[in-house]
Amino acid sequence: MDRNLAMEFVRITEAAALASSKWMGRGDEKAADQAAVDAMRKAFNSVRINGTVVIGEGERDEAPMLYIGEKVGLCESGLGAGVNCPDVDIALDPLEGTTICATGGVGAISVIAVAERGGFLHAPDTYMEKIAVGPAAKGAIDIDASPEENVRRVAKALGKDVSEVTVVILNRPRHEELIGRVRQVGARIHLIGDGDVSAAVATSWNETGIDLLLGTGGAPEGVIAAAALRCTGGDFQGRLKFRSNEERERAKRMGVTDLDRAYRLDDLARGNVMFCATGVTAGPMLKGVRFLPGRRAHTHSVVMRSQTGTVRTIEAEHSLDLKPVAVV
């Protein structure tokens, strides 16, 4: 994948973020999500790729656009005849944190991860037990160890006291025991309502103060987070947690043979990987969309590549009256 593609992908997340941000705080999750999906799908038509959505909005009968298996990019739109289009797999979430956006909360983002064909685990829409850290604690975590042991290992790797370690956990009833155990060991806890992709990636940013992610969230989001941590040099492990026999059968149809497997970082996202995200609402990692005088808007994005380890942050101003010109 050419490095210039990274800049093309960030234009896609910018488009989705701008569209969904108009629904911030308006209480309509579906409208915010639909705006992001529509804008992202349209923006893919300007990128010279032969792309396949492997993690998206759901199965084809559940989602009219950006569904699993959908082909995207100039090569598939009919506009890209004669151009060189790399074959890529795409994992995306047009609006991670629909509730966050609808309520005007913290940390909603638009996100895309891209890998060479076959680079991502085709994760079923089920839960995943997750543990993530940044580069300084890479190799210190073990999903088979207890929460207490992982907190102690991360503290040692970071040169901190356990009382100085901050663990981010989704605020869910299923995590009551986990939260109690982390508190008992003496670590600090940052509870979040949604958005565990950005929370996992935030472990790689010293400025966020987040050292470790623990808990159970969506499996597709786990793959996207793993892609980002491949780029930052962080670490991620996950194990699928099924809620029904139907979910187990679906996983088998998607090629999962060992249902109890503990996935390491390279099992989830391997090879040449890119990650792009644009803030929708302000959070620990990215600023949110701001609307400026004169029909303009400001966006804040991050673009990362595993091949070079480069992490770029991009702040941009956009005219809301000019429409982008399609690349042909």
Q: Following DSSP, what letter does each residue of 46-94 receive, concatenated?
A: TS--EEEEEESSS-TTT-SSS-TT-EESHHHHTS-TTS---EEEEEEEE
Whose CA is closest to 20, among 95, 103, 99? 95
The Cα-based distances of 263 to 113, 116, 130, 142, 188 in angstroms read 18, 19, 10, 11, 27
Beta bridge partners of 167: 189, 212
DSSP state of 280: S
List of the chain residues with pLDDT < 70: 1-3, 61, 76-83, 322-328
Superfamily of domain 4-119+273-319: Fructose-1,6-Bisphosphatase, subunit A, domain 1 (3.30.540.10)
- Position 250 scores a pLDDT of 86
The pLDDT value given to residue 81:
52
- pLDDT tens track for 107-145: 999 999 999 999 999 988 899 999 999 999 999 999 999
pLDDT of residue 326: 47
CATH architecture of 127-268: 3-Layer(aba) Sandwich (3.40)
- Dist. CA 301–CA 82, nearest whole Å: 31
